[in-house]
Structure 1
Amino acid sequence: MTATFEHVLAPGRIGSLDLPNRVALAPMGTEMGTHEGLITEREIAYYTERAKGGTGLVMTGISAVSQDYEVINPGLCRVDTDAALPGLTALAESVHRVGGKISLQLTAGLGRNINNVDPDRLPISASDNPHYSHPEVLCRPLETHEIQVIVQRHAEAAARAAAAGIDALDIHGHTGYLVDQFMSPVWNRRTDEYGGSTENRCRFAVEIIRAVKAAAPGLPVSFRLSVDHRFEGGRTVEESKKIAVVLEAAGLDLLIADDGSYEAMDYVFPPYYLGDACMAPAAKAMKEVLSIPVMAVGNLTPENAEAVIAAGEADFAGIGRGLIADPEWANKLREGRRGDVRPCIRCNAMCVGHAFFAEALGCAVNAQVGFERERVLQIAPRPKHVVVVGGGPGGLEAARVAALRGHRVDLYEKGTNLGGVLWPAATPEFKKELRGMVGWWERQFATLPVTVHLGTEIAADSPELDGADAVVVATGSLPVVPRSIPGIDGDNVVEVLDFHLGTPVGQRVVVAGGGLSGADSALELAQAGHEVTIVEMASEIAKDMIVINRITLLRQLAEHRVRILTEHTVTAVDEKGLTATGPDGEEIHVDADTVLSAFGVRPNTALPDALADRPNVIPLGDCVKPAKVGEAINAGFLAAFAL
């Protein structure tokens, strides 16, 4: 029986605002603003596309209400000046034109979490807390009159939003940012009216809520609360229940419930290791004490978004990265097209990863993010015959986009499955969305002029290339096998991809190579009950991995007792395991039944080199340079977009 998603698609109401469904774009920064913090046409197009896709409520990323005591990072939005009014008005009008509703998130500031320390003035906080990134610097506690200034700035920003036609307002109160620092005993040691009891610690938040509602009468106000900070000494669920009750009494219309803090950053942007609906319990806990609606967030698929709402554990589903990946998330569910919803692979690479470096939002699986106006797929002036060699992520995306542009595509894959290394690498449960991408491409091909030829290897003189107007070469990479290591060809040595394809391994496994592939395989094996050791010659494992994902990976490896030997070089393999040399030159033998070879990959350049003299050959992905999945997908999109 086909799921109907009747609960998540049912009309909803927040305060006085009626919404067509229970789907909201959860607030996430875009870094698309001007250097001065004003909204751009690019940012407006991004939000409008999500509204056009049927999202019930589009919520913006943080917008600074004050520059009095700290300065917002360039590229982030600010609404502390009337110069913001034209952009806010244009945003509201654009979203309304496509039938959507827009909420503006207001932030009091980052406090101890602000990225950089200004040498001319101390960072601010509730108390004299150590700065997160520079703990040698103590923050300056805000004075009472300064707190009142920030409250007033919220009122001024709310009035601007109302004048611009914004439909709702959200208070940025989670993740240990400034408002949260006041609410939490771990950061609030004040002895005045803003410290001590739960009510006093919530006073700053309560005054903000009341000021915003007074300045923008009729506009619903939501508040994002980290229910469990997820670190020792941080706020617990029971304390958050008390806080939520106080916030509701202040006039709040919606509570957005999540987990995490800078001390537990992976819960702020949950990677694939944390699994589905990893913060849904936070919403359930808030529903137990509140009468106002509650929004759940955190790795929600359509199925578990529907489930938490159907169970009464949440009233709304906040979809962040899922709506980045597919802006038509809600419309596709409404149209009965669940299989066409493009999965978010939870890699954090080009959404969160870009934000960390003040770069505009992107997406590993959707190359149109941030380029909604520029990368519109249109039929090409002259249809071509396009041959794509390689059914990995880059080749699959190139084939899809070329076909959408009206070209006839023949896709050749030498293996028996599409997906390239993506297919075997996605065997762990925590990587199921990666495998879901392969199924998504296959579904798209069913209605496009793409002919897939499995089990067909293409050489430079293959007749299949005759008459092709363009040849996209996406032949991927080859495993690195250091032949200089004695015993590397032994019967007990299994290449990491062969392991994922089903080659059996023993109870004790030593993984030779601590890159992402080796580390993920180690975790998968440990979760299955194997005794696992990682041997890595560098000083760290998964060194090139985005820091948020790596936090979870290292924690879970530790929880599953995976032994990690860094700065150790494999020198020999024998039937009982391997020998490695440590940083001090001392040899160590690691006993194991199986040695998993995960020394990395190198470009498979044979075909692109052989076709170098042929015109209209486009190599991309790992056969050019080994890269991440998102880089290959984006390269595939751009190659086909240019045809």
Structure 2
Amino acid sequence: MSGYKKLFEPIKIGKVEVKNKIAMAPMGILGLATDKGGFSKRAQDYYIERAKGGTGLIITSVTKIENEIEKMHPGIIVCTTMDPAHFINTTSEMVERIHAYDSKIFLQLAIGFGRVAAPAMLVGEPVAPSAIPNYWDPSVTCRELTTKEVEKLVKMAAESAAIAKVAGFDGVEIHAVHEGYLLDQFTIGMFNRRTDKYGGDVMGRLTLPIEIVKAIKKVNGQDFPVSLRFSIKSYIKGWNQGGLDGEEFVEKGRDTEEGLTIAPILEKAGYDAFDADAGSYDAWYWAHPPIYQKHGLYLPLTEQLKKVVNVPVIVAGRMDLPELAEKTLEEGKAADMVCLGRALLADPAWPNKVLEDRPEDIRPCVGCHDGCLGRAFEGKPLCCAVNPACAREVDYGIYPACCTKNVMIIGGGVAGMEAARVAALRGHKVTLYEKTDKLGGHLIEASVDEFKKDNERLLDWYKTQMNKLGIDVKLNTEVDSEFVKANATDVVIVATGSTPIKPNVPGIDKDNVVTATEALLKEKPVGNKVVVVGGGLVGCETALSLAMAGKEVTIVEMLPELMSAGLPVPHMNRTMVLDMIKLHNIKTVLNNSLLEVKDGAVEVIDNNFKRTTIPADTVVISVGLKPNKCLYNEISGKLPKVYTIGDANRARNIMYAIWDAYEVARTI
């Protein structure tokens, strides 16, 4: 463990000692709750796996303290008081098993969602401190909670903490003076217009979180730890509008000065630690940072917080690089403990791998949100784009095959590499053929920009695993159907990827027309004035890449909105890309299609057949990808056990390329 000693020093939160300074951040386990508000078997296995992986402190998913004042459909969110006996029954053995690994576990208690509750989650109307618009549907006005209802929330918080203690939890975390949830709404003047004891000036607005911690301490004793999920700054530019780092705007939520003012007051009230971050639903890309955010993005704020409080400061915010986490703790200026969220979805053994001094084996999170919160938005269970076994560890793990087989994999993109990795782990003999001189496929161009370097980390991880598993990789080897038939093995997996779609319009073959791949890899020159045809995620990211390089960029999209077709782009990623497009002065021409590429310009046409000419030195085509299925079509039905995976099956994204490969390879 040379070089990572600070991470593995013990730390105390109140009177509870944690074996190391690595915490699991609280993340929603939507889809993994029972109808009675308990933890499903999958949820239990999920937390136990992270304890087994070496995490010192696990902070659970958001758990509601009641389901009457803010009533949600059963099975969405865990709830302590819906059926206390059932809750204890589904958590007590989980807690005992987590303790067997010398890990501690805090139950995160949610006072409510308030204005940020999606109407589809609710039975009835949304509630809030005051009559303010719902975030997801601003045409809906939230009902203002009565004083008696707020007082009942305090009582239910204490009751929930008592239930948690009976179940064996080591402490609770209050959710949250953070991210714009209900309790945070009470503390922020923009949302709280009350005139009773829970409103008014700053001290009035802090009454609710103060009463909650005092009530819990009264019930469970002063030695029972209560941490607070705490956003130092909201980054709210306006209703449903966030502010980017470096952007000048007037903070409408909690500014840093107010955050640093109220923290010591909350500490004095009895909170034993601050699980600190920044952001709000209005600036969700701060609270749930996508790949475009910096690693350690909260550290400048938590450094200021540590100067005004004496209890431990726990910091998340893309702290998944071991060297960053260790350096932060070593310096001691910005955090006492690091919190890992999606990093532990991607690799539950992150702590053990660091402890064993093999950080190169940590499977990196790529900040896509496709497998975690993106799936939650689609009503699907929590998982992870790069770790298909996440939250289904027991049912969907990798187990040794009963007999060894020879597996031929054609294509060295992410799908081919994942299939090779999983098949090799199961004990099969794997040979992978790649026609170019590099592994990676589309992951290569998806890694070139500084804001996409986590994709490069994923590619490096795959290369490391392929090497360690002794997979026979044959580069510069193009395989045709005759080769496959002549060298047929037990199993053939075709992962030949996809190729860019080019619209059939006049001028498409001109020298100034390039694909997004060619532009990103600098395979062809790109002029100063650029038109990107296609406003999907790849087109928008390519436009950002070129704008950051000093180009004058226009995006042409045939639909009314950017990133509105194909697979859904998770909300935090999409809103950040849109805000970055504005910040970098990228022009957008919507409801228009490419009609013709001319010398020095493109002609587009809108839905009313109006034509417009846009100057362009270079035209970048980014209208999608089509599967390269030629080889598969030639051998399918002629050989047994032939599979097609990833983009060769259906062009989608990194997550589905990995998931296809994992599903096939784990059953060979």
TM-score, length of structure 2 as denominator length: 0.93
- Alpha-carbon distance, 1:463 to partner: 5.3
Aligned to 1:236: 255
> Equivalences for 1:114-153 in 2 at 5 Å?
114-116=117-119, 121-153=124-156
> Residue 430 of structure 2 aligns to a residue in which SS?
strand
> Equivalences for 1:409-428 in 2 at 5 Å?
409-428=430-449
CA distance in 1, matches of 2:511, 2:125: 62
Q: Is the CA contact (8 Å cut-off) linking 2:531 and 2:618 kept in structure 1?
A: yes
- Alpha-carbon distance, 1:522 to partner: 0.5
Aligned to 1:172: 175
Counterpart amino acid of 2:307? E
> Residue 254 of structure 2 aligns to a residue in which SS?
coil
Counterpart amino acid of 2:93? A
CA distance in 2, matches of 1:547, 1:264: 10
Aligned to 1:5: 4
- Alpha-carbon distance, 1:39 to partner: 0.9
> Equivalences for 1:112-511 in 2 at 5 Å?
112-116=115-119, 121-173=124-176, 174-217=178-221, 218-232=223-237, 233-300=252-319, 301-311=321-331, 312-462=333-483, 466-482=487-503, 484-503=504-523, 504-511=525-532
Q: Is the CA contact (8 Å cut-off) linking 2:19 and 2:102 kept in structure 1?
A: no
Counterpart amino acid of 2:52? K
Q: Deviations over 1:500-555 (max 9, x none)?
A: 22222112211122222111110011111111111111222222422221100010
CA distance in 2, matches of 1:640, 1:117: 37
CA distance in 1, matches of 2:63, 2:379: 15
Aligned to 2:20: 21
Q: Is the CA contact (8 Å cut-off) linking 2:72 and 2:122 kept in structure 1?
A: no
Counterpart amino acid of 2:607? P
- Alpha-carbon distance, 1:282 to partner: 2.7
> Residue 482 of structure 2 aligns to a residue in which SS?
coil
Name the CA shift for 1:40/1:128 in 2 (closer, same or farther; >3 Å): same
Name the CA shift for 1:61/1:465 in 2 (closer, same or farther; >3 Å): farther
Q: Is the CA contact (8 Å cut-off) linking 1:117 and 1:123 kept in structure 2?
A: no
> Residue 231 of structure 2 aligns to a residue in which SS?
strand
Counterpart amino acid of 2:179? T
> Residue 8 of structure 1 aligns to a residue in which SS?
helix
Identity of aligned residues (%): 38
Q: Identify which of 91, 107, 116 aligns with 2:110.
A: 107
- Alpha-carbon distance, 1:121 to partner: 4.9
CA-atom RMSD, angstroms? 1.7
CA distance in 1, matches of 2:181, 2:489: 56
- Alpha-carbon distance, 1:137 to partner: 3.2
- Alpha-carbon distance, 1:37 to partner: 1.9
> Residue 531 of structure 2 aligns to a residue in which SS?
strand
Name the CA shift for 1:465/1:372 in 2 (closer, same or farther; >3 Å): farther
CA distance in 1, matches of 2:121, 2:433: 56
Counterpart amino acid of 2:418? E
> Residue 396 of structure 2 aligns to a residue in which SS?
coil
CA distance in 2, matches of 1:399, 1:497: 25
Name the CA shift for 1:480/1:357 in 2 (closer, same or farther; >3 Å): closer
> Residue 229 of structure 2 aligns to a residue in which SS?
strand
Aligned to 2:46: 46
- Alpha-carbon distance, 1:5 to partner: 2.4
Name the CA shift for 1:575/1:3 in 2 (closer, same or farther; >3 Å): farther
Aligned to 2:35: 35
CA distance in 2, matches of 1:68, 1:509: 55
Name the CA shift for 1:8/1:464 in 2 (closer, same or farther; >3 Å): farther
Q: Deviations over 1:59-88 (max 9, x none)?
A: 101111112301234332110132211112
Q: Is the CA contact (8 Å cut-off) linking 2:28 and 2:62 kept in structure 1?
A: yes
CA distance in 2, matches of 1:114, 1:534: 33
Q: Is the CA contact (8 Å cut-off) linking 1:24 and 1:56 kept in structure 2?
A: yes
Moved more, 216-225 or 115-124: 115-124
Name the CA shift for 1:157/1:616 in 2 (closer, same or farther; >3 Å): same
CA distance in 1, matches of 2:520, 2:2: 31
CA distance in 1, matches of 2:402, 2:587: 58
Runs of 4+ in structure 1 off by over 6 angstroms are: 117-120
Counterpart amino acid of 2:225? P
Unpaired stretches in structure 2, ≥5 consecutive residues:
238-251
Counterpart amino acid of 1:180? D
CA distance in 1, matches of 2:484, 2:42: 45
Q: Is the CA contact (8 Å cut-off) linking 1:64 and 1:72 kept in structure 2?
A: no
Q: Is the CA contact (8 Å cut-off) linking 1:282 and 1:296 kept in structure 2?
A: no
CA distance in 2, matches of 1:281, 1:316: 15
- Alpha-carbon distance, 1:617 to partner: 0.3
Q: Is the CA contact (8 Å cut-off) linking 1:125 and 1:181 kept in structure 2?
A: yes
CA distance in 2, matches of 1:71, 1:523: 42
> Residue 157 of structure 2 aligns to a residue in which SS?
helix
CA distance in 2, matches of 1:239, 1:600: 46
- Alpha-carbon distance, 1:122 to partner: 3.9
CA distance in 1, matches of 2:484, 2:185: 67
Q: Is the CA contact (8 Å cut-off) linking 2:406 and 2:428 kept in structure 1?
A: yes
Aligned to 2:663: 638
Name the CA shift for 1:99/1:118 in 2 (closer, same or farther; >3 Å): closer
Counterpart amino acid of 1:79? T
Q: Is the CA contact (8 Å cut-off) linking 1:385 and 1:469 kept in structure 2?
A: yes
Q: Is the CA contact (8 Å cut-off) linking 1:397 and 1:441 kept in structure 2?
A: yes
Unpaired stretches in structure 1, ≥5 consecutive residues:
none
CA distance in 2, matches of 1:4, 1:176: 38
CA distance in 2, matches of 1:359, 1:215: 37
- Alpha-carbon distance, 1:431 to partner: 1.0
Counterpart amino acid of 1:472? I
CA distance in 2, matches of 1:607, 1:49: 40
TM-score, length of structure 1 as denominator length: 0.97
Q: Identify which of 571, 574, 579 aligns with 1:555.
A: 579
Counterpart amino acid of 2:518? D
> Residue 33 of structure 2 aligns to a residue in which SS?
coil
Q: Is the CA contact (8 Å cut-off) linking 1:465 and 1:471 kept in structure 2?
A: no
Q: Identify which of 541, 561, 568 aligns with 2:562.
A: 541
- Alpha-carbon distance, 1:118 to partner: 9.1
CA distance in 1, matches of 2:456, 2:123: 50
2:598 aligned with 1:574, yes or no? Answer: yes
Moved more, 578-587 or 244-253: 578-587
- Alpha-carbon distance, 1:566 to partner: 1.2
Q: Deviations over 1:401-450 (max 9, x none)?
A: 00000000001111111111111222111111111111101111222141
Counterpart amino acid of 2:160? A
Name the CA shift for 1:138/1:118 in 2 (closer, same or farther; >3 Å): farther
Q: Is the CA contact (8 Å cut-off) linking 1:257 and 1:295 kept in structure 2?
A: yes
